[in-house]
Amino acid sequence: MNRIISYRGKIGDGEQDTIPLHTNDGKTGYKIVKFQCMLTGFENAEMVVKIYKVKQAATSHTVDFEDVTLLAAALVSGSASAEIYPEDQTIIFDNQIFNQDIYITGDKNSTANDVNYYIELEQVKLTEDQALVAIVKNLRNEQ
pLDDT of residue 137: 72
Quote the CA–CA distance of 73 and 117 in Å, as a whole number.
11
DSSP 83: T
Bridge partners of 16, per DSSP, are 105
- In the chain, the percentage of residues whose pLDDT exceeds 70 is 89
Q: Which CATH number do you get for residue 104?
A: 2.60.120
pTM of the model: 0.88
Q: What is the DSSP string of 17-75?
A: EEE----SS--EEEEEEEEEEEESSS--EEEEEEEESS--SS--S---TT-TTEEEEEE
**123, 3 in Cβ contact below 8 A?**
yes
Domain with 135 in it: 4-142
**40, 114 in Cβ contact below 8 A?**
yes
- On the question of pLDDT at 136 being above 80, the answer is no
Q: Name residues whose C-beta falls within 8 Å of residue 90's C-beta, 6 or more positions apart in sequence.
A: 74, 75
* Average pLDDT for the chain: 87
**101, 19 in Cβ contact below 8 A?**
yes
Q: What is the pLDDT of residues 11-26, one digit of tens each?
A: 999 999 999 998 888 8
Q: Could you give the number of structural domains in the chain?
A: 1
Q: What is the pLDDT of residues 106-115, one digit of tens each?
A: 998 766 688 9
Q: What is the pLDDT of residues 33-51, one digit of tens each?
A: 999 998 887 777 889 999 9
Give per-residue burial for 34-65: e unless 16+ CB within 10 Å, then b.
ebebebeeeeebbbbbbbbbbeeeebebeeee
pLDDT band at 94 (very low <50, low <70, confident <90, very high): confident
Q: Average pLDDT in the 108-127 region? A: 87
